Structure 1
Amino acid sequence: MNWGTKIIIVFSVFVTGIVFMVFKASKQNMDLVVPDYYEQELQYQQVIDAQKRAAALNSLVQCKVQNDSIQIILPQEMLDKRITGNVWLYCIANKKRDIQQNFTTLNGKISFPVTAVNKGAHDVKINWEAEGEQYFFEQKLFIQ
């Protein structure tokens, strides 16, 4: 085998590899976390302020999986207040597995059935309002 044949073989393998990688890359799913990320980024200071207010409370939000449900317990300061908010279970791997649910509570407890949530790793993002103040809490949660 002469050197010209070897060059053609190496070049052919290289081109085949590049074509394969382009094909695989074109099939990759590229979901955005949220479609209006730019508008949300402009208002991110409000999220930072809400996180600081939530961190300043005497206790943290508790998120845990018990039996067949996800239990979210807000801090003690929130127990006797009318609270409205939103819980977002964000699945990093697949946007179709995300769950968003609005809630209103007077006792500071929120519950979701596990059957409504796909198993795996999720980021739990909780926005809530109590007495005109916004709060935000985020935690990683693994559902088995």
Structure 2
Amino acid sequence: MNWGIRVVIILALFLAGMTYMVALAMRQTNETIDADYYSKELKYQKVIDGKKQLAALAQPVMISDSAGGVWVRLPEIAVQHLDSGHIEFLRLSSSKADRRIPMAIAGKSVYSLPLASFVKGWYRVRIEWISKGVDYYHEQNFQIR
């Protein structure tokens, strides 16, 4: 076999491999966590400020799953005079399992969410709230078992 035929065989294998990769890439779905990520990116300074405010507090945000529920414990001092807020559980593999829970204006620091309303797996938990005009923000990955 001469070198010309070898070059043609190598090019044919390369083209077949590239065609397979393009077909595979076209079948992939690429979900982003947020549909309106661009507008949220522009408001990211508010998130940075919220993280700084939360870091200055003595108590951390704690999330756990036990006793048939998911427990979210917020620093009491940061929710005493709650203006508004919400807790988001974003399912990384499917946006259909996302949950958004509004926070009670009464200044409740512990939230108990029924475990049955969640699909088991990994979530990105985002908590945003405003208390006395001060923004707070917390984000972490959390696994529900």
Normalising by structure 1, we get a TM-score of 0.86
In structure 2, the CA distance between the partners of 1:80 and 1:41, relative to structure 1 (3 Å rule), is closer
Equivalent AA in structure 2 for residue 141 of structure 1: F
State the secondary structure of the residue aligned to 1:32. Answer: coil
Structure 2 residue 117 is the aligned partner of structure 1 residue 116 = yes
Aligned residues, how many? 144
Q: Counterpart of 1:27?
A: 27
CA contact (8 A) 1:61 1:74 kept: yes
Contact kept in structure 1, 2:68 and 2:115, CA below 8 Å: yes
For 2:80 and 2:4, the matched residues in 1 are separated by: 83
Alignment gaps of 5+ in structure 1: none
How many Å apart are 1:11 and its aligned residue? Answer: 2.5
Alpha carbons of 1:91 and 1:36: their partners in 2 closer, same or farther (altered >3 Å)? same
Cα distance in 1, alignment partners of residues 22 and 15 from structure 2:
11
Taking the TM superposition and a 5 Å limit, the aligned residue runs for 1:47-66 are 47-66=47-66
| Unaligned ranges ≥5, structure 2 | none
Q: Which amino acid aligns with 2:17?
A: G
The one-letter amino acid of 2:47's match is: V
CA distance in structure 1 between the aligned counterparts of 2:93 and 2:111, rounded to whole angstroms: 25
Q: Quick one: which amino acid aligns to residue 90 of structure 2?
A: Y
